[in-house]
Homo-oligomer: A and B are copies of this chain.
Amino acid sequence: MTGTYRVACQQLAPHIGQPQLNLERSLAAIRDAALAGARLVVLPELALSGYLFRDRKEAHEHAEGRDSPSLAAWAALARTHQIIVVGGFCERLADGEVANASVLIEPCGRRTFYRKAHLWDGETRIFTPGDQPPPVVDTAIGRVAMMICYDLEFPEWVRLAALAGAQLLCAPVNWPAGPRPPAQRPAEVIRVQANASVNRLFVLACDRCGEERGTHWVGGTALVDADGHLLAGGDRSQHPRMLLADIAPAEADDKCISTCNHVLRDRRPQLYGALL
């Protein structure tokens, strides 16, 4: 597990209310990533359903269980193409509840699930937040953590993944485009870069594009190395695109940034009590 692997983000444009179209596009995206040599592909948040549900009822109609046909189709491609698939979907819970969820599917068939813990805006009316830390999965290409969109704005959350040994953090996101100074790099990308550098881990944040119910998106999919430097993306694009990078996830095990400094061991948790 010291090798270099190609990884991909597939910035897609899901259409709310068209789950079959979204599924087909996601399958094509997985296949294209595999054909480009990727061993892992990240899809956007809620890639199968679209994002801007009117209410919980509509979300529930578009939700699916962890054994749904769509996820089985992702898993079939993961097996066929020997590619790890990370993507977001709307998870049906009991009693009419839904979660903003993601899954990591390995070629062997193992599935790891995550439910977004920090909910954005209208999501708070729709989704039940997760109450588990970001999972860290020991895969064939390295230890991969997973979280979703607004979770990335909590450095505490990324730190938990790093402390649990993550080498590569995969984040399906849907970054709504808001008013911002045009000359500035998107703050969403800046935060991804900082998260990577202070933890010395790779981050793949896969955004969406395509107007949905009046909302536009940053389209800022970003692949960032363990120094926080951009490997691909980070600019704005309103079009679907595949972004690739060749990374050696094990490099993230080297947390030393000077002769005497180690980004995790230099922490002083005994002084951080007020964080809790």
Task: Spell out A's residues near B (CB within 8 Å).
Answer: 117-122, 124-125, 129, 131-133, 150, 153-157, 159-160, 163-164, 180-181, 184-185, 187, 190-191, 193-195, 197-198, 227-230, 258-261, 263, 266-276
Taken together as a complex, chains A and B put the C-alpha atoms of A98 and B187 apart, in Å, by 38
Question: In chain B, what residue has the closest Cβ to A198?
Answer: B153
Question: In chain B, what residue has the closest Cβ to A155?
Answer: B155
Known: A121-B258, A133-B274, A272-B156. A198 touches B191 (CB 8 A): yes
Residues of B within 8 A of A270 (CB): 276
Whether A258 lies near B155 (C-beta < 8 A) is: no
Taken together as a complex, chains A and B put the C-alpha atoms of A149 and B77 apart, in Å, by 47
Known: A129-B268, A194-B195, A275-B276. 6 other contacts (CB 8 A): A121-B260, A124-B260, A184-B229, A187-B229, A191-B228, A269-B275
Taken together as a complex, chains A and B put the C-alpha atoms of A274 and B153 apart, in Å, by 18
Taken together as a complex, chains A and B put the C-alpha atoms of A259 and B190 apart, in Å, by 23
3 tightest Cβ-Cβ pairs between the two chains A and B: A194-B194, A155-B155, A121-B258
Whether A187 lies near B228 (C-beta < 8 A) is: yes
Whether B230 lies near A184 (C-beta < 8 A) is: yes
Residues of B within 8 A of A185 (CB): 185
Taken together as a complex, chains A and B put the C-alpha atoms of A273 and B194 apart, in Å, by 22
Closest-CB distance, A182 to chain B (whole angstroms): 11
Taken together as a complex, chains A and B put the C-alpha atoms of A76 and B163 apart, in Å, by 47
Whether A275 lies near B117 (C-beta < 8 A) is: no
Taken together as a complex, chains A and B put the C-alpha atoms of A150 and B266 apart, in Å, by 10
Question: What are 13 residue pairs bridging A and B, where the CB atoms are less than 8 Å apart in the complex?
Answer: A121-B259, A121-B260, A122-B259, A150-B261, A154-B266, A155-B198, A156-B156, A156-B267, A160-B272, A160-B274, A187-B193, A273-B276, A275-B276
Taken together as a complex, chains A and B put the C-alpha atoms of A165 and B159 apart, in Å, by 23
Taken together as a complex, chains A and B put the C-alpha atoms of A271 and B116 apart, in Å, by 13
